[in-house]
A and B are shown apart, each in its own frame.
Chain A
Amino acid sequence: MLEGTLIYGFINSVILMLVALGFSVTFGISGVANFAYGALYIMTGYLSWLGLHSLGLPYWVAAPLAVVVTGAVAAMIYWFILLRVRGLVVSEVIATFGVGLAILELFRSLGFIGFEYTLPPIIDASVMIGDTYVDAQRLCIVATGILLAAFLWFFTHYTKTGLAFRGIAQDERTALTLGINGDKVAALSVAFGAGYGALAALVILPLGTIAVNEGYNVLVNALAVCIVGGLGSTVGIIVASFLIGFAQILTSTYLETSWMMIVSLVAILAILVIKPSGLFGHQKQLEERI
């Protein structure tokens, strides 16, 4: 039992990390709040499904195309909506949350409800780890998680665009004096974050079905990880993913599965009471208020 709990706890943690990375890129690093993130995640799933089943495209065409379209839609959300409210955090949250709602409920009203909305796994097999069977797709998720986390670290530390992301997160006005175009970088970060979410969707969604409500769950989980880990800290996100991921699996295994859903919410409340800037957050304004 313990072995299985550890294996599934680890996988669940990586799933949470994958879900949160894209959100963190936009919200944590470049300071842009994209609350349409969950909707964009689900949109990738539906677009891939449509590419596969309605357009008859092969998976290796439909899936990357869905990622590109999702990124483009995210950039357009920035350009046509967020640009006007940029800097007003509350307005950014309201605008993006509204867009997310519209996207998700549009899918629902168009009839995208049903068990047929599934994506094929990358590897369709089961693997025995110790005495526990694990489907190979979960191992693909772990591999993807490690790769994307490593790439994000590399990107934000060693590429010009990544450094620009961090630049506007630290101080947008100073970044501007150094020749960084804040709007362009912010648009890029929204698209980049959505792209990360889209990649996560492609590996995670084959575990279940593509469902509108999953968009809300993804947003809650991403928020929980970012708040607990601390906004802007990639290390924080990784640590928080493992804390919440294991807490969820332990709750499910030793208590009730139905309680698993409230772990993220309890984590948000707890960290806001104890350390509002998050475990690895550096928002002095928040800390000084306590």
Chain B
Amino acid sequence: MRKLTCLTAVALLLTALFLAPTGALAADKIVIGVPTSLNFLEGKEANNSVKLAVDEINKAGGVKVGGKMLPFVVESIDIRDAAPGVPVPEALLGIEKLILEKKPNALVVGPFRSEALLAGMDMLAKHKVPLLGTIAMSPKTEAKVASDPKYKYVFRVSLDAKYFVGYIAGVMGFLGKEFGFNKVFIMNQDVAWARATAGIMTKIFEGKLKWKVVGHETFPTGASDFAPALMKAKMAGAQVIMPVFDMPQSGILVKQWKAMKVPALMAGFISPLTGPGAWKTFDGKIGGALNAIFELGNIPSAKYPPSKKYYDAYQAKYGVPLEAGHGPAPSYASVYLLKAAIEKAGSLDPDAIVAALKATDAQGVMGHIKFSKGNQLIYGNDPQKEALGCFFQWTDDGKRLIVYPPAIAEGTIKLPAGMKAAK
């Protein structure tokens, strides 16, 4: 009987140790998990940015937790969800593997595909691991967080489709006012966030802006010949083509637009067009295209010095400039947000960290940092009040000129050669 009691006690002790909060066991370090598509540009540079922030923080002494200074440690895993054909469950398995094996105190960056993030929210709630997502963009995650407290562990530091739409609507409004344009052709990739963006923009064009949507084409991920659609846009008399793509092949759309001399302004988001390297990659055939940068810091702005400081620090550490327009800056900011939250919470308890993150009110590389009720970082037009995304235009000599929003604009939008205003 005594032997049985002893064995039971040992078993209970081992179970308690196994089930104990990870923070209590890993008290000598704070583990940041980075589960994302590491082979994709945004994932690679977001991961680099997390490491940059971690290096800076560790060099400065680490994170103060209950009177003790602990270093950050980064554990990354490639969940490949951005690659065409990779099923969502496979991406979720990768995240769960990271959670179970490395026992991270928080996750940063996260899935590319909103489908994967939405499906993974229950798992994050089950394991009580905070995630500061910086890539997936569907507004549905925010709605889920706001409607059910069990999803409180999911934060989004990057722009979501709703805010992106706000920036596009602002630019289109300007184009209508300045050049008299009112006919748009929409082209988007067949993925959740791009479909959502195109859908909302169609309503805005036809409602608030009073534009005519003269055509709408959806392309499967991986498509690389846009000539038939460009021909349709030309024949339909489009004055603006609004692309919404995050696949590597989409950059070629602008090159084909140039080659076919389609007399419509290209204004939207094409992920390969965001970085300075695009000029060389696309043989300088992208002049005049307007492209979004989802988060300030992914492009430096002299009018908001923290963005430039981060951009320059990235280049100094890795020897190459940032190319991605979505992900890296909020990933860098997320590590600092996490540091501040842990120090405020004074422990590694996930609920305390989440409560502290929710109360964040500070300046960061993208502007002012404050979360909504649904844990979405609030984006706007003034870096002192909200975080910022922006639009830039490729000039004919290969420079990226920020043209929107007005608070950080370095110049005004110019029509490419061969295009005329409609008024």
- Segment with Cβ contacts to B, from A82-90, A161-169, A180-188, A252-260: A252-260
* Whole-angstrom distance between the Cβ of B213 and the nearest chain A Cβ: 15
Q: Is the CB of A4 within 8 A of B231?
A: yes
Interface positions, chain A 1-49, Cβ under 8 Å from B, are: 1, 4-5, 8
Annotate B247-263 by CB proximity to A: 1 below 8 A, 0 otherwise: 01111100010011100
Question: Smallest CB–CB gap between B250 and chain A, Å?
Answer: 8
Residues of A within 8 A of B41 (CB): 114-115
| Cα separation A132 to B227 with both chains bound (whole Å) | 11
Asked if B281 contacts A249 (CB within 8 A), the reply is no
Whether A253 contacts B224 in the complex (CB less than 8 A), given A4-B235, A115-B248, A213-B85, comes out as no
Q: In chain B, what residue has the closest Cβ to A261?
A: B220
Contact with B along A106-133 (1 / 0, CB 8 A): 0011010111111010001010000011
The answer to whether B231 and A135 have CB atoms under 8 Å apart is no
Closest Cβ–Cβ distance, residue B221 to chain A (whole Å) = 8
Find chain A residues with CB under 8 A from B93 CB.
none
Answer whether residue A179 sits at the interface, using C-beta atoms and an 8 A cutoff.
Answer: no
Q: Which residues of B contact A8 (CB under 8 A)?
A: 227-228, 231
Contact of A133 among B252, B259, B281 (CB under 8 A): B259
Complex: how many Å from CA A4 to CA B234? 11
Q: Which one of B40, B83, B220, B249 lies within 8 Å of A258 (CB-CB)?
A: B220
Interface centre among A1, A134, A207, A208, by most chain B C-beta atoms within 10 angstroms, is: A208
**Contacting pair B259 A256 (CB below 8 A):** no
Choose among A113, A120, A134 the residue with the greatest number of B CB atoms under 10 Å from its CB: A113
Using Cβ atoms and an 8 Å threshold, which residues of chain B touch A257? Answer: 217-219, 223, 226, 228-229
Interface assignment of A209: CB less than 8 Å from any CB of chain B = yes
- B257 CB to closest chain A CB, in angstroms? 10
User: Which chain B residue lies CB-closest to A118?
Assistant: B281
Q: Does B225 contact A (CB under 8 A)?
A: yes
The answer to the question of B149 belonging to the interface, with a C-beta cut-off of 8 Å to chain A, is no
Q: Which of B220-279 contact A (CB under 8 A)?
A: 220, 222-229, 231-232, 234-235, 248-252, 256, 259-261, 271-272, 277-278
For B220, list chain A residues within 8 Å (CB).
258, 261
Chain A proximity of B275: nearest CB distance (Å): 9
Check A253–B232 contact: CB distance below 8 A: yes
Q: Specify the chain A residue showing the minimal Cβ separation from B236.
A: A1
Q: Does A202 contact B (CB under 8 A)?
A: no
User: Are B224 and A116 neighbours in the complex by a CB distance under 8 Å?
Assistant: no
Complex CA gap A208/B250 in Å reads 9
Interface residues on B, range: 35 or more
Q: Which of B48-64 contact A (CB under 8 A)?
A: none
Q: In whole angstroms, what is the CA distance A258 to B226 when docked?
A: 11
A217 within 8 A of B: yes
Contact residues in A for B85 (Cβ distance below 8 Å): 213
Interface-central residue, A132, A253, A257, by most chain B CB under 10 Å: A257
**B251–A126 touching, CB < 8 Å:** no
With A and B bound together, what is the CA distance between A247 and B227 in angstroms? 15
Report if A126-B259 is in contact (Cβ < 8 Å); known contacts: A8-B231, A113-B39, A208-B225: yes
CB distance from B79 to the nearest CB of A (A): 14
A4-B231, A249-B228, A252-B229 are contacts. A115–B223 as well, Cβ < 8 Å? no
Partner of A209, one of B39, B217, B248: B248
B151 → chain A closest CB, angstroms? 31
In the assembled complex, the CB of A114 is this many whole angstroms from the nearest CB of chain B, namely 5
0/1 string, B60-85, CB within 8 A of A gives 1: 00000000000000000000000111
**Contact residue among A5, A208, A261 (Cβ-Cβ distance under 8 Å from B249):** A208
Contacts of A134 in B (CB 8 A): 259-260
- Bound: A142/B231 CA distance, A: 19
User: A211 CA to B248 CA in the complex, in Å?
Assistant: 8
Residues A253 and B252 in contact, CB atoms below 8 Å apart: no
A114-B41, A115-B272 known; A133 vs B224 contact (CB < 8 Å): no
- Across the A-B interface, the 7 shortest Cβ-Cβ residue pairs: A208-B224, A115-B272, A135-B259, A252-B228, A115-B248, A115-B251, A213-B222
* 9 extra interface residue pairs, beta carbon distance < 8 Å, beyond A115-B278, A253-B232: A108-B83, A113-B248, A115-B272, A132-B231, A135-B259, A207-B225, A211-B248, A253-B231, A257-B229
**CB<8 Å pairs between A and B, sample of 17:** A4-B231, A115-B249, A115-B250, A115-B272, A115-B278, A120-B283, A132-B260, A133-B259, A135-B260, A208-B224, A208-B252, A209-B252, A213-B222, A214-B222, A249-B228, A252-B229, A256-B218
Give chain A's interface residues, CB within 8 Å of chain B. 1, 4-5, 8, 108-109, 111, 113-118, 120, 124, 126, 132-135, 207-209, 211, 213-214, 217, 249, 252-253, 256-258, 260-261
